[in-house]
Amino acid sequence: MSELVSHSHPRVALIGECMIELQQHANGALRQSYGGDTLNTAVYLSRLLGSASQVDYVTALGDDSFSDAMCASWAEEGIGLSHVQRLPGRLPGLYCIQTDANGERRFLYWRNEAAVRECFTTPSAEPILAALPEYDVLYFSGITLAVLGEVGRARLLSSLGDARDRGARVVFDNNYRPRLWRSVDQARQAYRAVMHEVDVALLTEDDELALFGYADAEQIMTAYRDLGIAEVVIKRGAQSCLVCADNQRYEVAAQPVHKVIDTTAAGDSFSAAYLAWRLRGGSPEDAAAAGHRLASLVIQHPGALIPRSVMPA
């Protein structure tokens, strides 16, 4: 099975948005932390790889105390901050998580004026865009595409092409959120525009069905393989995931969980463990099993990020 990268200390850049997270408890109390799909993946990836890799986050924040606290917490997790822009007078987005008795989530968002929307449109973005092709792996999501806007998406796409020309691998997690797009057609156009620059697609089945109207996982797999994407993973929650890599197919069972507390970041953590395993030279099949292991722990704890003390060995 081919390795994702050819050396032992890869540089990884994850591109996206982190927001202020509020978790609402049954008594109405709110617990404040931070979260966002690519940031969640960055934290778990940094924890899993440690000194075996350099993990950097690419985003834009404000110059406020919440943004200061975010950066401090990322630094504590070993995440590089050299490509985090701090925009004067701006603020990060905010969201609230409400969970039902089954651990399913409802999100409320305040993000229209978030600093990340100018991530790739400011003068200070120029050296960041120029630096992206120097990484071994670039990781972004469908939410990244949505929050960057049309100009930011175009500039990201150009950097992805330059990076692949230099031998980088591009990893995409679909994470489709309809409310972030003007229409489903706009989202489809944006997704399709980047697919020819993707090497590894980490797909949530429900998101693909909602966005493109595929009938089932087999249609999804066929569509992405026809695009020439070498490695495709279809995440299906508590069901087994499907993996196709190097023209081999696998079905990897999920780990059963007795009681689900909160499904926040289940897919993000799966993606982190999958990528960490692949970066260490593991097979896609074993990487998927590692993804299930971490996700099964994450959904047994509230919020996006579990304590380091309960991370898998």
Give per-residue burial for 256-266: e unless 16+ CB within 10 Å, then b: ebeeeebbbbb
Under 8 Å between Cβ of 141 and 171: no
Supply the pLDDT for residue 30.
87
Supply the pLDDT for residue 137.
98
pLDDT higher at 1 or 204: 204
Strand, coil or helix: 281: coil
Under 8 Å between Cβ of 170 and 197: yes
pLDDT higher at 181 or 95: 181
- For 11-310, the fitting CATH number among 3.40.50.9100, 3.40.640.10, 3.40.50.300, 3.40.1190.20 is 3.40.1190.20
Structure tokens at 114: 């978030």
Instruction: pLDDT band for 239, please (50, 70, 90 cuts).
Output: very high
Element (H, E) at 30: strand 30-35
69 alpha-carbon distance from chain centroid: 21
pLDDT digits (tens, 9 = 90+) for 275-298: 999 999 999 999 999 999 999 999
Under 8 Å between Cβ of 141 and 168: no
Structure tokens at 133: 């092709």
Residues with catalytic function: 268
CA distance 4 to 245: 11
Return the percentage of the chain with pLDDT > 70, whole number: 99
Under 8 Å between Cβ of 15 and 298: no
Structure tokens at 204: 């949530």
Structure tokens at 141: 């999501």
Among 26-30, 105-109, 282-286, 301-305, the range with the most confident prediction by mean pLDDT is: 282-286
- Mean pLDDT calculated for residue range 167-174: 97
CA distance 160 to 173: 15
Under 8 Å between Cβ of 36 and 48: no
pLDDT digits (tens, 9 = 90+) for 49-90: 999 999 999 999 999 999 999 999 999 999 999 999 999 999
CA distance 138 to 151: 19
DSSP string, 69-98: HHHHHHHHTT-B-TTEEE-TT-B--EEEEE
pLDDT digits (tens, 9 = 90+) for 192-215: 999 999 999 999 999 999 999 999
Supply the pLDDT for residue 101.
72
Domain boundaries, the chain: 11-310
Burial class from Cβ neighbours inside 10 Å (0-12, 13-18, 19+) for residue 269 reads: buried
Give the CA radius of gyration of the chain: 18
Supply the pLDDT for residue 65.
96
Supply the pLDDT for residue 103.
64
Supply the pLDDT for residue 33.
86
- Mean pLDDT calculated for residue range 222-232: 96
Instruction: pLDDT band for 26, please (50, 70, 90 cuts).
Output: confident
CA distance 134 to 158: 14
Supply the pLDDT for residue 249.
96
**Does the structure show a pLDDT above 80 at 274?**
yes
Supply the pLDDT for residue 177.
95
> What number of helices (H) and strands (E) belong to the chain?
9, 13
Supply the pLDDT for residue 225.
94
Supply the pLDDT for residue 24.
82
pLDDT digits (tens, 9 = 90+) for 152-168: 999 999 999 999 999 99
